[in-house]
Amino acid sequence: MQKKIIILILLLSNLIYSQNEEQKIDSLISEFTSELKKNGTNEFFYVKEYCNGGLNLVFPPDCLSIYETYLFWRTNNKSWIKKFDTCKNYKPIELSDNSLVDFFIKNSGKLKNEIVKKYTITEAKENSTIMETNPTCFKIFQFQTENDSFINKFDLFDLTTDSDDKNLYYDSNNKLKLVELGKMCDSLISTIEKGRQFEQ
């Protein structure tokens, strides 16, 4: 019984910590994007990935942030990225080209309306068999265009398939502009992380 109570306390404290951390990052981004808007930048987006479930009982000496968030924007025909977490204040990094921000602006209508369909293994007129996994990870986008602000997200599990239980929407999900933007962001962030540019 005591072990159950300890695990419950740890789960609750982890949930409260996660919520506080997310609110702090959202506040930092809101403050930064308000400055962008004051300086005439009205088109930008940010992306964050988080996972449900799991319990991390390891407390490393360095700061560990659950919600790493990346903001992308363009000012004076130069594109930028800035990382946000609760560990430190990162400087903006100028990107070598505008392709990612151009992709966002060009496809904003699709990015708003596209829906990644749930992992489905059979489909019938009356009901579908949808696979669920736990824990699962999500990618969330917040978009700001000249005339609109919107959020879109998807479960990374819905982009996968299995040889035994094939996902009927595997191909169509992975062809969406929203998913393509997510992959572009991942690739760019990975390159910057490997070059340790955020740490400079």
**Domain boundaries defined on the chain:** 2-194
pLDDT at 158: 95
Provide Rg for the chain, Cα atoms. Answer: 19
For residues 49 and 52, give the distance between their C-alpha atoms in angstroms, rounded to a whole number. 10
Asked if residues 32 and 47 have their Cβ atoms less than 8 Å apart, the reply is: no
pLDDT at 16: 42
Place of tokens 């992380």: 193
The pTM assigned to this predicted structure is 0.81
pLDDT at 55: 44
pLDDT at 14: 44
Report residues of the chain scoring pLDDT below 70.
1-20, 53-65, 123-135, 200
pLDDT at 12: 42
Q: In one letter, which amino acid is 136?
A: T
